[in-house]
Structure 1
Amino acid sequence: MPIPQSLRESITHVRRHHYQGGQWWAEEVEVVREEALTLFVNGHEFVTMVVTPTDLEELVTGFLASENFISRADAITVFQHHPGTQQIWVRVPGLDPTRITQTGTRYLSSCCGRGRPGFYFIEDANISPLVVEPLSHPLTAETMTTLFEEFSQWTHQQHSGGLHAAGLAYGATLLTIRTDAGRHNALDKLYGYCLRQQIHLSDKAIVFSGRLSSEVILKAGRMGIPLIISNAAPTNLGIELAETLGITAVGFARNHELSVYSHPERILPF
Protein backbone atom coordinates (compact mmCIF):
# COMPACT_ATOMS: atom_id res chain seq x y z
CA MET A 1 0.00 0.00 0.00
CA PRO A 2 1.58 3.36 -1.03
CA ILE A 3 2.16 6.12 1.53
CA PRO A 4 -0.79 8.56 1.23
CA GLN A 5 -0.28 12.30 1.12
CA SER A 6 -2.17 12.60 4.42
CA LEU A 7 0.57 10.65 6.22
CA ARG A 8 3.21 13.05 4.92
CA GLU A 9 1.05 15.96 6.05
CA SER A 10 0.68 14.44 9.53
CA ILE A 11 4.25 15.17 10.55
CA THR A 12 6.59 18.10 10.89
CA HIS A 13 10.29 18.32 11.68
CA VAL A 14 12.00 19.63 14.81
CA ARG A 15 15.57 19.73 16.04
CA ARG A 16 16.39 17.73 19.17
CA HIS A 17 19.40 16.87 21.33
CA HIS A 18 19.71 13.13 21.77
CA TYR A 19 21.76 11.18 24.32
CA GLN A 20 22.81 7.58 23.80
CA GLY A 21 25.82 5.48 24.72
CA GLY A 22 27.47 8.28 26.68
CA GLN A 23 27.29 10.78 23.83
CA TRP A 24 25.12 13.75 22.87
CA TRP A 25 24.30 14.89 19.35
CA ALA A 26 21.83 17.19 17.61
CA GLU A 27 19.54 15.92 14.88
CA GLU A 28 16.38 16.72 12.95
CA VAL A 29 13.48 14.33 13.61
CA GLU A 30 9.82 13.87 12.75
CA VAL A 31 7.07 14.72 15.24
CA VAL A 32 3.30 14.48 14.87
CA ARG A 33 1.34 17.63 14.12
CA GLU A 34 -1.48 18.63 16.48
CA GLU A 35 -3.88 21.53 16.18
CA ALA A 36 -6.93 22.67 18.12
CA LEU A 37 -9.88 22.97 15.74
CA THR A 38 -13.26 24.32 16.80
CA LEU A 39 -16.32 22.78 15.14
CA PHE A 40 -19.44 24.90 14.60
CA VAL A 41 -22.65 23.06 13.73
CA ASN A 42 -25.51 25.13 12.25
CA GLY A 43 -23.89 28.30 13.54
CA HIS A 44 -23.41 27.03 17.12
CA GLU A 45 -20.02 26.32 18.64
CA PHE A 46 -20.10 22.62 19.44
CA VAL A 47 -16.67 21.23 20.27
CA THR A 48 -12.96 22.00 20.16
CA MET A 49 -10.91 19.00 19.15
CA VAL A 50 -7.14 18.54 19.31
CA VAL A 51 -6.36 16.65 16.12
CA THR A 52 -3.77 15.91 13.49
CA PRO A 53 -5.11 18.23 10.75
CA THR A 54 -5.54 15.74 7.89
CA ASP A 55 -8.65 14.15 6.34
CA LEU A 56 -10.76 16.74 8.14
CA GLU A 57 -14.01 16.17 6.24
CA GLU A 58 -13.78 12.48 7.06
CA LEU A 59 -12.97 13.32 10.69
CA VAL A 60 -15.99 15.59 11.14
CA THR A 61 -18.30 13.18 9.32
CA GLY A 62 -17.16 10.24 11.42
CA PHE A 63 -17.24 12.21 14.66
CA LEU A 64 -20.81 13.44 14.15
CA ALA A 65 -21.90 9.93 13.14
CA SER A 66 -20.24 8.28 16.14
CA GLU A 67 -21.91 10.86 18.38
CA ASN A 68 -25.22 9.84 16.73
CA PHE A 69 -25.90 13.25 15.19
CA ILE A 70 -25.94 11.96 11.61
CA SER A 71 -26.23 8.57 9.93
CA ARG A 72 -25.20 9.51 6.37
CA ALA A 73 -22.40 11.60 4.96
CA ASP A 74 -24.80 13.65 2.82
CA ALA A 75 -26.54 14.88 5.98
CA ILE A 76 -23.73 17.47 6.02
CA THR A 77 -24.61 19.92 3.25
CA VAL A 78 -21.94 22.56 3.94
CA PHE A 79 -18.35 22.04 5.08
CA GLN A 80 -16.03 25.03 5.47
CA HIS A 81 -12.53 24.84 6.91
CA HIS A 82 -10.91 28.14 7.90
CA PRO A 83 -7.24 27.38 8.68
CA GLY A 84 -6.50 30.96 9.71
CA THR A 85 -8.93 30.84 12.62
CA GLN A 86 -8.69 27.05 13.11
CA GLN A 87 -12.44 26.68 12.70
CA ILE A 88 -14.67 24.27 10.82
CA TRP A 89 -18.26 25.24 10.03
CA VAL A 90 -20.80 22.64 8.92
CA ARG A 91 -24.47 22.69 8.10
CA VAL A 92 -26.74 19.77 9.04
CA PRO A 93 -30.31 20.67 7.99
CA GLY A 94 -33.10 19.42 10.23
CA LEU A 95 -30.91 18.84 13.28
CA ASP A 96 -32.66 19.74 16.53
CA PRO A 97 -30.71 22.79 17.83
CA THR A 98 -31.15 21.69 21.44
CA ARG A 99 -29.03 18.63 20.67
CA ILE A 100 -26.10 20.91 19.84
CA THR A 101 -26.44 23.22 22.81
CA GLN A 102 -27.65 20.88 25.56
CA THR A 103 -24.15 19.76 26.55
CA GLY A 104 -22.54 23.18 26.20
CA THR A 105 -19.22 23.82 24.51
CA ARG A 106 -16.94 20.79 24.77
CA TYR A 107 -13.21 20.29 24.51
CA LEU A 108 -11.72 16.97 23.39
CA SER A 109 -8.01 16.32 23.74
CA SER A 110 -6.26 14.04 21.28
CA CYS A 111 -5.91 11.30 23.92
CA CYS A 112 -9.51 11.22 25.05
CA GLY A 113 -12.92 10.32 23.67
CA ARG A 114 -16.28 11.68 24.65
CA GLY A 115 -16.21 15.16 26.09
CA ARG A 116 -19.22 15.29 28.35
CA PRO A 117 -18.56 15.24 32.09
CA GLY A 118 -18.53 11.98 33.96
CA PHE A 119 -18.23 8.39 32.87
CA TYR A 120 -20.60 6.52 30.63
CA PHE A 121 -21.59 2.92 30.89
CA ILE A 122 -23.08 0.23 28.71
CA GLU A 123 -26.59 1.56 29.36
CA ASP A 124 -25.51 4.88 27.83
CA ALA A 125 -24.60 3.30 24.52
CA ASN A 126 -28.18 3.60 23.19
CA ILE A 127 -27.37 1.16 20.43
CA SER A 128 -29.09 -2.12 19.64
CA PRO A 129 -26.84 -5.18 19.73
CA LEU A 130 -25.40 -5.98 16.35
CA VAL A 131 -26.68 -9.00 14.49
CA VAL A 132 -23.90 -11.56 14.74
CA GLU A 133 -23.39 -12.55 11.12
CA PRO A 134 -20.72 -14.90 9.80
CA LEU A 135 -18.09 -12.99 7.87
CA SER A 136 -18.11 -13.71 4.15
CA HIS A 137 -14.39 -14.30 4.56
CA PRO A 138 -13.97 -15.92 8.00
CA LEU A 139 -10.56 -15.14 9.41
CA THR A 140 -8.13 -17.61 10.86
CA ALA A 141 -5.65 -16.65 13.54
CA GLU A 142 -2.90 -16.90 10.92
CA THR A 143 -4.73 -14.52 8.60
CA MET A 144 -5.22 -11.97 11.39
CA THR A 145 -1.57 -12.02 12.45
CA THR A 146 -0.48 -11.65 8.81
CA LEU A 147 -2.95 -8.78 8.36
CA PHE A 148 -1.57 -7.05 11.43
CA GLU A 149 1.99 -7.52 10.17
CA GLU A 150 1.07 -5.67 6.97
CA PHE A 151 -0.64 -2.99 9.05
CA SER A 152 2.47 -2.63 11.23
CA GLN A 153 4.79 -2.41 8.23
CA TRP A 154 2.65 0.39 6.85
CA THR A 155 2.50 2.33 10.12
CA HIS A 156 6.26 1.94 10.62
CA GLN A 157 6.70 4.13 7.54
CA GLN A 158 6.01 7.06 9.84
CA HIS A 159 9.02 7.62 12.03
CA SER A 160 7.57 10.05 14.57
CA GLY A 161 6.27 7.24 16.79
CA GLY A 162 3.30 9.44 17.68
CA LEU A 163 0.52 8.46 15.29
CA HIS A 164 -2.30 6.07 16.05
CA ALA A 165 -3.74 4.21 13.08
CA ALA A 166 -7.07 2.60 12.20
CA GLY A 167 -7.27 0.36 9.14
CA LEU A 168 -10.19 -1.18 7.28
CA ALA A 169 -9.80 -4.80 6.18
CA TYR A 170 -11.83 -7.15 4.01
CA GLY A 171 -10.75 -10.73 4.53
CA ALA A 172 -6.96 -10.73 4.36
CA THR A 173 -6.82 -7.46 2.41
CA LEU A 174 -6.00 -4.15 4.09
CA LEU A 175 -8.12 -1.60 2.20
CA THR A 176 -7.16 1.74 3.72
CA ILE A 177 -5.69 3.36 6.84
CA ARG A 178 -6.34 6.64 8.63
CA THR A 179 -3.98 8.17 11.21
CA ASP A 180 -4.07 10.77 13.96
CA ALA A 181 -2.34 11.64 17.21
CA GLY A 182 -5.58 10.56 18.90
CA ARG A 183 -6.78 6.99 18.56
CA HIS A 184 -10.44 8.06 18.66
CA ASN A 185 -9.77 10.61 15.91
CA ALA A 186 -8.18 7.94 13.72
CA LEU A 187 -11.34 5.83 14.08
CA ASP A 188 -13.57 8.81 13.30
CA LYS A 189 -11.56 9.54 10.15
CA LEU A 190 -11.95 5.92 9.07
CA TYR A 191 -15.70 6.01 9.80
CA GLY A 192 -16.05 9.23 7.84
CA TYR A 193 -14.21 7.72 4.90
CA CYS A 194 -16.55 4.72 4.91
CA LEU A 195 -19.66 6.90 5.08
CA ARG A 196 -18.47 9.20 2.30
CA GLN A 197 -17.58 6.22 0.10
CA GLN A 198 -20.78 4.35 1.05
CA ILE A 199 -18.83 1.25 2.03
CA HIS A 200 -20.80 -1.70 3.42
CA LEU A 201 -19.24 -2.56 6.78
CA SER A 202 -20.94 -5.65 8.20
CA ASP A 203 -18.34 -7.88 6.50
CA LYS A 204 -15.30 -5.74 7.30
CA ALA A 205 -12.82 -5.63 10.18
CA ILE A 206 -10.91 -2.82 11.88
CA VAL A 207 -7.18 -3.14 12.46
CA PHE A 208 -6.24 -0.76 15.26
CA SER A 209 -3.16 0.48 17.09
CA GLY A 210 -4.79 1.53 20.38
CA ARG A 211 -6.30 0.16 23.55
CA LEU A 212 -9.72 -1.49 23.18
CA SER A 213 -11.59 0.72 25.61
CA SER A 214 -15.37 0.95 25.85
CA GLU A 215 -15.32 4.14 23.76
CA VAL A 216 -13.41 2.43 20.96
CA ILE A 217 -15.77 -0.56 21.00
CA LEU A 218 -18.77 1.78 20.96
CA LYS A 219 -17.39 3.53 17.87
CA ALA A 220 -16.94 0.13 16.18
CA GLY A 221 -20.53 -0.69 17.14
CA ARG A 222 -21.86 2.53 15.63
CA MET A 223 -19.98 1.65 12.45
CA GLY A 224 -21.53 -1.82 12.40
CA ILE A 225 -18.10 -3.49 12.39
CA PRO A 226 -18.19 -7.09 13.69
CA LEU A 227 -14.45 -7.54 14.33
CA ILE A 228 -11.67 -5.32 15.69
CA ILE A 229 -8.03 -6.40 15.94
CA SER A 230 -5.51 -4.49 18.06
CA ASN A 231 -1.95 -4.88 19.26
CA ALA A 232 -2.96 -3.41 22.62
CA ALA A 233 -4.98 -4.52 25.63
CA PRO A 234 -8.76 -4.34 26.15
CA THR A 235 -10.47 -2.98 29.24
CA ASN A 236 -13.07 -4.94 31.17
CA LEU A 237 -15.84 -2.53 30.12
CA GLY A 238 -14.62 -2.74 26.54
CA ILE A 239 -14.96 -6.53 26.67
CA GLU A 240 -18.45 -6.35 28.24
CA LEU A 241 -19.59 -3.88 25.60
CA ALA A 242 -18.13 -6.00 22.78
CA GLU A 243 -19.98 -9.04 24.13
CA THR A 244 -23.23 -7.09 24.31
CA LEU A 245 -22.91 -5.55 20.85
CA GLY A 246 -21.82 -8.75 19.13
CA ILE A 247 -18.29 -7.59 18.33
CA THR A 248 -15.29 -9.91 18.23
CA ALA A 249 -12.55 -8.10 20.16
CA VAL A 250 -8.99 -9.28 19.51
CA GLY A 251 -6.05 -7.86 21.45
CA PHE A 252 -2.28 -8.30 21.73
CA ALA A 253 -1.92 -9.14 18.02
CA ARG A 254 1.84 -9.29 17.63
CA ASN A 255 4.64 -11.74 16.85
CA HIS A 256 2.26 -14.40 15.47
CA GLU A 257 0.06 -14.43 18.57
CA LEU A 258 -3.21 -12.83 19.65
CA SER A 259 -5.95 -13.04 22.28
CA VAL A 260 -9.71 -13.20 21.63
CA TYR A 261 -11.94 -11.68 24.33
CA SER A 262 -15.46 -11.88 22.87
CA HIS A 263 -17.42 -13.77 20.19
CA PRO A 264 -14.67 -16.19 19.10
CA GLU A 265 -17.10 -17.99 16.78
CA ARG A 266 -16.09 -15.71 13.88
CA ILE A 267 -12.56 -17.03 13.92
CA LEU A 268 -11.97 -20.36 12.23
CA PRO A 269 -11.11 -22.92 13.32
CA PHE A 270 -11.83 -22.36 16.98
Structure 2
Amino acid sequence: MTDYLIAPSPQAAGLTRRVRGTDQTGAATDLNVVEERPLTIFLNGQEIVTAMTIGDYPEYLALGFLRNQGMLRDDDLIKGVDYDDELETVVVRTEAQTSYEEKLKKKTRTSGCAVGTVFGDMMEGLEDVVLPDLRVRTSELYALAARINRTPSLYLEAGAIHGTVLCQGARPLVYMEDVGRHNAVDKIAGWMLSEKVSAANKVLYTTGRLTSEMVIKTALMGIPVLASRSGFTAWGVEIAQQVGLTLIGRMKGQRFVCLSGEERLVRDADPAQVANEPRKLGRKAAK
Protein backbone atom coordinates (compact mmCIF):
# COMPACT_ATOMS: atom_id res chain seq x y z
CA MET A 1 0.00 0.00 0.00
CA THR A 2 2.96 2.28 -0.65
CA ASP A 3 1.04 4.84 -2.75
CA TYR A 4 -1.05 5.99 0.22
CA LEU A 5 0.22 9.25 1.67
CA ILE A 6 -0.95 8.01 5.07
CA ALA A 7 -2.12 4.42 5.57
CA PRO A 8 -3.31 2.56 8.68
CA SER A 9 -0.63 1.01 10.90
CA PRO A 10 -2.52 -1.88 12.53
CA GLN A 11 0.67 -3.29 14.09
CA ALA A 12 1.78 0.03 15.64
CA ALA A 13 2.51 -0.12 19.36
CA GLY A 14 -0.24 1.14 21.68
CA LEU A 15 -3.18 0.91 19.29
CA THR A 16 -4.41 -2.52 20.38
CA ARG A 17 -4.10 -4.77 23.42
CA ARG A 18 -4.21 -8.55 23.64
CA VAL A 19 -7.01 -9.68 25.97
CA ARG A 20 -7.86 -13.22 27.07
CA GLY A 21 -11.45 -14.37 27.30
CA THR A 22 -13.63 -17.37 26.57
CA ASP A 23 -15.67 -18.21 23.51
CA GLN A 24 -19.19 -19.61 23.19
CA THR A 25 -17.97 -23.10 24.13
CA GLY A 26 -16.10 -21.90 27.21
CA ALA A 27 -12.70 -22.40 25.58
CA ALA A 28 -9.96 -19.84 26.28
CA THR A 29 -9.34 -17.38 23.44
CA ASP A 30 -7.07 -14.37 22.94
CA LEU A 31 -8.33 -11.33 21.11
CA ASN A 32 -6.84 -8.02 19.97
CA VAL A 33 -8.98 -5.12 21.19
CA VAL A 34 -8.63 -1.45 20.29
CA GLU A 35 -7.21 0.92 22.88
CA GLU A 36 -8.96 4.22 23.57
CA ARG A 37 -7.64 7.11 25.60
CA PRO A 38 -8.71 10.68 26.36
CA LEU A 39 -7.30 13.64 24.46
CA THR A 40 -8.10 17.14 25.69
CA ILE A 41 -8.01 19.85 23.03
CA PHE A 42 -7.19 23.46 23.89
CA LEU A 43 -7.45 26.48 21.62
CA ASN A 44 -5.02 29.03 22.99
CA GLY A 45 -6.01 29.24 26.70
CA GLN A 46 -9.51 27.77 26.29
CA GLU A 47 -10.21 24.10 26.99
CA ILE A 48 -12.58 22.99 24.22
CA VAL A 49 -13.33 19.27 24.51
CA THR A 50 -12.01 15.92 25.70
CA ALA A 51 -12.29 13.27 22.99
CA MET A 52 -11.89 9.53 23.34
CA THR A 53 -9.48 8.42 20.63
CA ILE A 54 -7.04 5.65 19.72
CA GLY A 55 -4.21 8.14 20.18
CA ASP A 56 -2.59 8.37 16.74
CA TYR A 57 -2.22 11.71 14.90
CA PRO A 58 -3.38 13.84 17.86
CA GLU A 59 -2.25 17.07 16.21
CA TYR A 60 -4.34 16.40 13.10
CA LEU A 61 -7.32 15.43 15.25
CA ALA A 62 -7.11 18.70 17.20
CA LEU A 63 -6.72 20.86 14.11
CA GLY A 64 -9.51 19.08 12.29
CA PHE A 65 -11.93 19.17 15.19
CA LEU A 66 -11.44 22.92 15.64
CA ARG A 67 -11.67 23.54 11.91
CA ASN A 68 -14.85 21.48 11.53
CA GLN A 69 -16.47 23.24 14.47
CA GLY A 70 -15.78 26.63 12.86
CA MET A 71 -13.26 27.62 15.53
CA LEU A 72 -10.42 27.63 13.00
CA ARG A 73 -10.73 29.15 9.56
CA ASP A 74 -8.59 28.19 6.59
CA ASP A 75 -6.88 31.59 6.69
CA ASP A 76 -6.17 31.63 10.45
CA LEU A 77 -2.47 31.90 11.24
CA ILE A 78 -1.54 28.91 13.40
CA LYS A 79 1.48 29.64 15.56
CA GLY A 80 1.90 26.16 17.00
CA VAL A 81 0.33 22.78 17.73
CA ASP A 82 1.80 21.22 20.87
CA TYR A 83 1.02 17.67 21.97
CA ASP A 84 1.89 16.45 25.47
CA ASP A 85 1.74 12.66 25.68
CA GLU A 86 1.90 12.53 29.49
CA LEU A 87 -0.85 15.11 30.01
CA GLU A 88 -2.82 13.78 27.01
CA THR A 89 -3.43 17.28 25.71
CA VAL A 90 -3.04 19.18 22.45
CA VAL A 91 -2.80 22.98 22.50
CA VAL A 92 -3.44 24.80 19.22
CA ARG A 93 -2.16 28.37 19.27
CA THR A 94 -3.28 31.02 16.81
CA GLU A 95 -2.27 34.59 16.05
CA ALA A 96 -5.64 35.95 17.23
CA GLN A 97 -7.10 35.13 20.64
CA THR A 98 -10.81 34.22 20.51
CA SER A 99 -13.32 33.29 23.21
CA TYR A 100 -15.85 30.49 22.64
CA GLU A 101 -17.82 30.45 25.88
CA GLU A 102 -21.15 31.15 24.16
CA LYS A 103 -20.53 28.54 21.50
CA LEU A 104 -19.60 25.97 24.13
CA LYS A 105 -22.92 26.55 25.90
CA LYS A 106 -24.75 25.44 22.77
CA LYS A 107 -23.03 22.08 22.32
CA THR A 108 -25.27 19.06 21.91
CA ARG A 109 -24.76 15.31 21.83
CA THR A 110 -25.40 13.71 18.43
CA SER A 111 -26.20 10.14 17.44
CA GLY A 112 -22.57 9.47 16.49
CA CYS A 113 -20.15 7.10 18.18
CA ALA A 114 -17.58 8.13 20.81
CA VAL A 115 -17.30 11.92 20.93
CA GLY A 116 -20.19 12.80 18.64
CA THR A 117 -20.14 16.39 19.83
CA VAL A 118 -21.45 19.12 17.56
CA PHE A 119 -22.19 22.74 18.35
CA GLY A 120 -25.69 24.10 17.88
CA ASP A 121 -24.66 26.71 15.34
CA MET A 122 -22.57 24.33 13.22
CA MET A 123 -25.15 24.51 10.40
CA GLU A 124 -24.90 28.28 10.10
CA GLY A 125 -22.00 28.06 7.67
CA LEU A 126 -23.90 25.76 5.30
CA GLU A 127 -25.80 28.69 3.78
CA ASP A 128 -22.58 29.94 2.19
CA VAL A 129 -21.32 26.55 0.98
CA VAL A 130 -20.87 26.22 -2.79
CA LEU A 131 -19.48 22.79 -3.65
CA PRO A 132 -17.56 22.10 -6.88
CA ASP A 133 -19.50 20.38 -9.66
CA LEU A 134 -17.28 17.29 -9.60
CA ARG A 135 -18.19 14.48 -11.97
CA VAL A 136 -17.80 11.04 -10.41
CA ARG A 137 -16.95 8.01 -12.53
CA THR A 138 -18.50 4.79 -11.27
CA SER A 139 -15.38 2.92 -12.44
CA GLU A 140 -13.37 4.98 -9.97
CA LEU A 141 -15.87 4.37 -7.17
CA TYR A 142 -15.66 0.61 -7.70
CA ALA A 143 -11.85 0.76 -7.78
CA LEU A 144 -11.73 2.82 -4.58
CA ALA A 145 -14.07 0.51 -2.68
CA ALA A 146 -12.14 -2.60 -3.72
CA ARG A 147 -8.81 -1.07 -2.78
CA ILE A 148 -9.90 0.39 0.56
CA ASN A 149 -11.70 -2.76 1.69
CA ARG A 150 -8.53 -4.78 1.20
CA THR A 151 -6.14 -2.38 2.89
CA PRO A 152 -4.63 -3.75 6.12
CA SER A 153 -6.33 -1.82 8.90
CA LEU A 154 -7.23 -1.79 12.57
CA TYR A 155 -10.75 -2.76 11.56
CA LEU A 156 -9.50 -5.98 10.01
CA GLU A 157 -7.12 -6.51 12.94
CA ALA A 158 -9.44 -5.84 15.86
CA GLY A 159 -12.78 -4.32 14.79
CA ALA A 160 -14.62 -1.74 16.94
CA ILE A 161 -13.26 1.05 14.75
CA HIS A 162 -14.32 3.39 11.96
CA GLY A 163 -12.30 4.39 8.91
CA THR A 164 -12.39 7.48 6.71
CA VAL A 165 -10.38 7.84 3.52
CA LEU A 166 -9.58 10.96 1.47
CA CYS A 167 -9.47 10.03 -2.21
CA GLN A 168 -8.77 11.59 -5.58
CA GLY A 169 -10.01 9.84 -8.70
CA ALA A 170 -9.40 6.13 -8.21
CA ARG A 171 -6.60 6.69 -5.70
CA PRO A 172 -7.06 6.62 -1.91
CA LEU A 173 -4.68 9.18 -0.39
CA VAL A 174 -5.08 9.38 3.39
CA TYR A 175 -6.70 6.62 5.47
CA MET A 176 -7.53 7.49 9.09
CA GLU A 177 -9.19 5.28 11.72
CA ASP A 178 -10.64 5.93 15.17
CA VAL A 179 -13.23 4.69 17.64
CA GLY A 180 -15.60 7.41 16.38
CA ARG A 181 -16.14 8.15 12.70
CA HIS A 182 -16.18 11.88 13.52
CA ASN A 183 -12.66 11.62 14.92
CA ALA A 184 -11.50 9.89 11.75
CA VAL A 185 -12.88 12.62 9.49
CA ASP A 186 -11.49 15.33 11.80
CA LYS A 187 -8.01 13.81 11.41
CA ILE A 188 -8.36 14.12 7.65
CA ALA A 189 -9.57 17.73 7.98
CA GLY A 190 -6.56 18.47 10.17
CA TRP A 191 -4.18 16.92 7.66
CA MET A 192 -5.73 18.92 4.81
CA LEU A 193 -5.48 22.15 6.81
CA SER A 194 -1.89 21.45 7.83
CA GLU A 195 -0.79 20.50 4.31
CA LYS A 196 -2.97 23.12 2.56
CA VAL A 197 -4.62 20.46 0.38
CA SER A 198 -7.47 21.46 -1.94
CA ALA A 199 -10.83 19.77 -1.40
CA ALA A 200 -12.31 20.60 -4.81
CA ASN A 201 -11.39 17.34 -6.58
CA LYS A 202 -11.63 14.98 -3.62
CA VAL A 203 -13.96 12.18 -2.53
CA LEU A 204 -14.46 11.25 1.12
CA TYR A 205 -15.09 7.56 1.81
CA THR A 206 -16.25 6.35 5.22
CA THR A 207 -17.11 3.00 6.73
CA GLY A 208 -19.73 4.61 8.97
CA ARG A 209 -23.30 5.81 8.57
CA LEU A 210 -24.08 8.83 6.41
CA THR A 211 -25.57 10.98 9.17
CA SER A 212 -26.34 14.70 9.23
CA GLU A 213 -23.09 15.47 11.01
CA MET A 214 -20.99 13.52 8.52
CA VAL A 215 -22.69 15.35 5.65
CA ILE A 216 -22.26 18.75 7.34
CA LYS A 217 -18.57 18.15 8.06
CA THR A 218 -17.89 16.98 4.51
CA ALA A 219 -19.69 20.00 3.02
CA LEU A 220 -17.94 22.49 5.31
CA MET A 221 -14.60 20.93 4.34
CA GLY A 222 -15.49 21.71 0.73
CA ILE A 223 -15.43 18.06 -0.40
CA PRO A 224 -18.12 17.49 -3.07
CA VAL A 225 -18.57 13.70 -2.77
CA LEU A 226 -19.24 11.47 0.27
CA ALA A 227 -19.46 7.68 -0.07
CA SER A 228 -19.89 4.85 2.40
CA ARG A 229 -20.31 1.11 2.80
CA SER A 230 -23.08 1.89 5.26
CA GLY A 231 -26.54 3.46 5.05
CA PHE A 232 -28.16 6.87 5.35
CA THR A 233 -30.21 8.95 7.74
CA ALA A 234 -33.07 11.01 6.31
CA TRP A 235 -31.67 14.30 7.62
CA GLY A 236 -28.26 13.48 6.19
CA VAL A 237 -29.84 12.95 2.76
CA GLU A 238 -31.90 16.14 3.04
CA ILE A 239 -28.86 18.27 3.90
CA ALA A 240 -26.81 16.69 1.10
CA GLN A 241 -29.53 17.58 -1.40
CA GLN A 242 -29.71 21.14 -0.08
CA VAL A 243 -25.97 21.81 -0.41
CA GLY A 244 -25.41 19.88 -3.64
CA LEU A 245 -23.29 17.10 -2.14
CA THR A 246 -23.09 13.82 -4.06
CA LEU A 247 -24.06 11.17 -1.51
CA ILE A 248 -23.49 7.48 -2.19
CA GLY A 249 -24.11 4.68 0.30
CA ARG A 250 -24.41 0.92 0.67
CA MET A 251 -21.32 0.44 -1.51
CA LYS A 252 -20.65 -3.29 -1.47
CA GLY A 253 -19.30 -5.17 -4.45
CA GLN A 254 -21.42 -4.36 -7.50
CA ARG A 255 -24.03 -2.42 -5.53
CA PHE A 256 -24.42 1.17 -4.39
CA VAL A 257 -27.25 3.67 -3.92
CA CYS A 258 -27.01 7.38 -4.78
CA LEU A 259 -29.52 9.57 -2.92
CA SER A 260 -28.11 12.99 -3.86
CA GLY A 261 -26.17 14.19 -6.91
CA GLU A 262 -27.26 11.49 -9.36
CA GLU A 263 -26.72 13.98 -12.22
CA ARG A 264 -23.00 14.10 -11.44
CA LEU A 265 -22.48 10.34 -11.77
CA VAL A 266 -20.75 9.15 -14.94
CA ARG A 267 -21.79 5.52 -15.31
CA ASP A 268 -18.76 4.23 -17.22
CA ALA A 269 -18.59 0.77 -15.59
CA ASP A 270 -20.83 -2.23 -16.10
CA PRO A 271 -21.79 -3.50 -12.62
CA ALA A 272 -22.01 -7.03 -14.01
CA GLN A 273 -18.26 -6.88 -14.70
CA VAL A 274 -17.43 -5.85 -11.11
CA ALA A 275 -16.40 -8.59 -8.70
CA ASN A 276 -18.73 -9.10 -5.77
CA GLU A 277 -17.25 -8.89 -2.29
CA PRO A 278 -16.83 -12.07 -0.29
CA ARG A 279 -19.89 -12.49 1.91
CA LYS A 280 -17.81 -11.45 4.90
CA LEU A 281 -14.48 -9.63 4.71
CA GLY A 282 -14.07 -10.49 8.38
CA ARG A 283 -11.27 -9.80 10.80
CA LYS A 284 -8.35 -12.06 11.46
CA ALA A 285 -9.23 -15.10 13.46
CA ALA A 286 -8.07 -14.96 17.05
CA LYS A 287 -4.85 -16.82 17.57
Common fold, TM-score beyond 0.5? yes
Structure 2 CA distance for partners of 1:155 and 1:206, relative to 1, 3 Å? farther
Q: Which residue of 2 aligns with 1:133?
A: 132
Unaligned runs of 5+ in 2: 269-287
Structure 2 CA distance for partners of 1:248 and 1:64, relative to 1, 3 Å? same
TM-score of the aligned structures, taking structure 1 as reference length:
0.86
Q: Which residue of 2 aligns with 1:50?
A: 52
Answer whether contact 2:113 2:179 (CA < 8 A) is retained: yes
Answer whether contact 2:23 2:29 (CA < 8 A) is retained: no
- Percent of aligned positions that are identical: 26
Helix, strand or coil for the counterpart of 2:39? strand
Instruction: Supply the distance in 2 between the matched residues of 1:184 and 1:112 (Cα, whole angstroms).
Output: 8
Amino acid at match of 1:139: V
Structure 2 CA distance for partners of 1:176 and 1:124, relative to 1, 3 Å? closer
Aligned residues: 261
Answer whether contact 1:73 1:192 (CA < 8 A) is retained: no
Q: Does 1:24 align with 2:26?
A: yes
Q: Does 1:94 align with 2:96?
A: yes
CA RMSD of aligned residues (A): 2.7
Answer whether contact 1:169 1:205 (CA < 8 A) is retained: yes
Mean Cα displacement is larger for which, 86-95 or 249-258? Answer: 86-95
Instruction: Supply the distance in 2 between the matched residues of 1:80 and 1:156 (Cα, whole angstroms).
Output: 27
Superposed counterparts of 1:242-253, under 5 Å: 242-253=240-251
Q: List per-residue Cα deviations over 1:202-227 (Å, max 9, x = no partner).
A: 11101111101000001001110100
Answer whether contact 2:210 2:232 (CA < 8 A) is retained: yes
Instruction: Supply the distance in 2 between the matched residues of 1:54 and 1:132 (Cα, whole angstroms).
Output: 30
Answer whether contact 1:169 1:207 (CA < 8 A) is retained: yes
Answer whether contact 2:8 2:175 (CA < 8 A) is retained: no
Mean Cα displacement is larger for which, 72-81 or 248-257? Answer: 72-81
Answer whether contact 1:166 1:209 (CA < 8 A) is retained: yes
TM-score of the aligned structures, taking structure 2 as reference length:
0.81
Mean Cα displacement is larger for which, 102-111 or 138-147? Answer: 102-111
Superposed counterparts of 1:208-227, under 5 Å: 208-227=206-225
Q: List per-residue Cα deviations over 1:43-87 (Å, max 9, x = no partner).
A: 122211111211111111111110011123863312222222222
Instruction: Supply the distance in 2 between the matched residues of 1:195 and 1:247 (Cα, whole angstroms).
Output: 21
